[in-house]
Amino acid sequence: NRQSRIRNFSIIAHIDHGKSTLADRILEETSALTKREMKAQMLDAMDLERERGITIKLNAVQLAYKAKDGETYTFHLIDTPGHVDFTYEVSRSLAACEGALLIVDAAQGIEAQTLANVYLALENDLEIIPVINKIDLPNAEPERVRQEIEDVIGLDASDSVLASAKAGIGIKDILEQIVEKVPSPQGDPNAPLKALIFDSMYDPYRGVVAYIRIVEGTVRVGDKIKMMATDKTFEVIELGVSTPKIVMRDELSVGDVGFLTASIKNVKDVHVGDTITNAIKPAAEQLPGYRKMNPMVYCGLYPIDSSKYNDLREALERLELNDSALQYEPETSEALGFGFRCGFLGLLHMEIIQERIEREFGIDLITTAPSVIYQIETVDGESHRVDNPSKMPEKKEIESIEEPFVKATIMTPNDFVGPVMELCQGKRGDFIDMVYLSENRVNIIYHLPLSEIVYDFFDQLKSSTKGYASLDYEFLGNRPSKLVKMDILLNNEKIDALSLIVHQDFAYERGKAIVEKLKELIPRQQFEVPIQAAIGQKIIARSTIKALRKNVLAKCYGGDISRKRKLLEKQKEGKKRMKTVGRVEVPQEAFMAVLRIN
């Protein structure tokens, strides 16, 4: 029967090991599209540019594969987001599969995200098929990598495919292994409906589009359905699959992977990880593993042109429709005026949202340095969740402060154990463990404050290991810390948007570094500008921006006019990202200065 010929799988890999390239090859091989239709990296629909044109994310495609045994199999290839910020989404995507292709770069070998993804796949009971990719590279060492997969992950890699996604080597073998090794979906098509929502998006015409995997039962157009987490009911308007052309269906049954629309206007009614059931004949319980996502990183977003405040609000409303993990609320800053404090899953998530606001909505933003959430108990017995350093209560009112910690796993070649430990130590890390994965590869485990990771940890890790180390982390919980608020004064005025929270023992160092950095970043003004760092009333560091001496145009007197115009334009360009704070013109980079100091 049809169900026994369905194979649902994902591709998992460390970044750059060739996931998208292999997905393209698989699409070609299963001739879902003619070559002409086949745009490179079809599955990468979240590409900021391309996204505007495409209303259905190509995150799950149905493919037909004629195997050596003469049968035609239905494959569902489910895409997973590739970054730690989205671990939960990765896990839900994997929960929609029975198998996973594990791509390992034949030159790089196993890296942190390889392992992290393997753990997620194992948690979801998936059959893992190792594929050693990029064997065409001159420095490929497929045998060493094969051994590494066996030693480090403990998978049998003896018959793993040696492939080159780029050169099209080994693709048929991979497809045959999917047929042989990935189990077909189990489940009863006549049981009450259980459909896992593994992704969703908002389409202005059809409302929320839910991407689902049918685990039990059957869903038909016109059915009354219920979201088990929110108890909301809807009527199914459309069902379909993407091949990756959109094909509408009257029903989806056990093992099918496709999308559903039901005139759902609010994205908050559809949670990734929730179960859809039939409202009239409901399932007794929902599928396991539903978890609500909470933001971990906050920052302020302010329009440079304050008349764009309402546009910014509209932009956030629109983005929220697509992204249920995004949070925002209005906030005001003495320095920056009216804006929003926004919560994100992590730094990448934050950057994506900022970029989309600027590109898609044309609003230039000032963003303040990211902050984690501090849990503060005050002497009056109240507790506060502080997501903005400038909102931290006065020192004398504080009883205790806790900050979020993460367990960081850093995978590195032996040679860099020293620099990695030095870096973690400098970031207030607690050494936990060091595990040799193979002769030349070590996993170093530290407990670190999330706030230190949010700053430039990743860049520093890369530069101190020549790019060889890789990082994965998970949230541990809150822990008490000796933290203080540090204020920054420009021209003797306290600038709330520059306040930050630092560890007592690092306060002087940080203060000194930050005033020096600000001196570099803030251009000279017509007058001298003192920069000071203060804790409470006490100034702990200071520097001075000297006054501008010459008019920039002075040099051009008598020179040709085009040169003069160019200079003026250059100045204007520079001004675009400036905000006047008090009497001082401050560029965007200055608000991020704290991210750029060691």
Contact set with ligand GTP (CB under 6 A): 13, 15-21, 82, 133-134, 136-137, 164-166
User: Looking at beta carbons only, is 214 or 352 nearer to ligand GTP?
Assistant: 352
What amino acid is encoded at 365 in this protein?
Answer: L
224-227 and 275-278 strand pairing: antiparallel
User: Looking at beta carbons only, is 136 or 251 nearer to ligand GTP?
Assistant: 136
Shortest approach of ligand GTP to residue 76 CB, angstroms? 19
483-490 and 327-333 strand pairing: unpaired
DSSP secondary structure letters along 453-522: IIIIIHHHHHHHTTT--EEEEEEEEEEE--EEEEEEEETTEE-GGG-EEEEGGGHHHHHHHHHHHHHHHS
218-220 and 493-494 strand pairing: unpaired
**159 is known to lie in a ligand binding site:** no
Packing angle, helices 171-181 and 19-29, rounded to 10: 80
CA distance 151 to 258: 37
User: Looking at beta carbons only, is 104 or 486 nearer to ligand GTP?
Assistant: 104
Shortest approach of ligand GTP to residue 137 CB, angstroms? 5
**133 is known to lie in a ligand binding site:** yes
User: Looking at beta carbons only, is 105 or 331 nearer to ligand GTP?
Assistant: 105
**17 is known to lie in a ligand binding site:** yes
Calculate the dihedral angle through the C-alpha atoms of 570, 575, 577, 580, rounding to the nearest 10 degrees: 160
CA distance 370 to 387: 9
**427 is known to lie in a ligand binding site:** no
**136 is known to lie in a ligand binding site:** yes
CA distance 421 to 444: 8
Q: Tokens representing 579?
A: 């905000």
Shortest approach of ligand GTP to residue 552 CB, angstroms? 42
- Of 274, 292, 190, the C-alpha closest to 234 is 274
User: Looking at beta carbons only, is 19 or 517 nearer to ligand GTP?
Assistant: 19
Shortest approach of ligand GTP to residue 11 CB, angstroms? 8
Shortest approach of ligand GTP to residue 575 CB, angstroms? 35
User: Looking at beta carbons only, is 130 or 240 nearer to ligand GTP?
Assistant: 130
Shortest approach of ligand GTP to residue 5 CB, angstroms? 28
User: Looking at beta carbons only, is 85 or 274 nearer to ligand GTP?
Assistant: 85
**485 is known to lie in a ligand binding site:** no
Q: Tokens representing 88?
A: 């939960």
Q: Is the dihedral of CA 128, 133, 135, 139 positive or negative?
A: negative
What amino acid is encoded at 559 in this protein?
Answer: G
Query: Are 449 and 405 contacting, i.e. CB atoms less than 8 angstroms apart?
Result: yes
**135 is known to lie in a ligand binding site:** yes
**Which burial class, exposed, middle or buried, applies to 204 when counting CB atoms under 10 A from its CB (0-12, 13-18, 19+)?**
exposed
Shortest approach of ligand GTP to residue 456 CB, angstroms? 21
Shortest approach of ligand GTP to residue 58 CB, angstroms? 14
User: Looking at beta carbons only, is 137 or 434 nearer to ligand GTP?
Assistant: 137
Q: Which residues are annotated as a binding site for GTP?
A: 16-21, 133-136
Q: Which residues are annotated as a binding site?
A: 16-21, 133-136
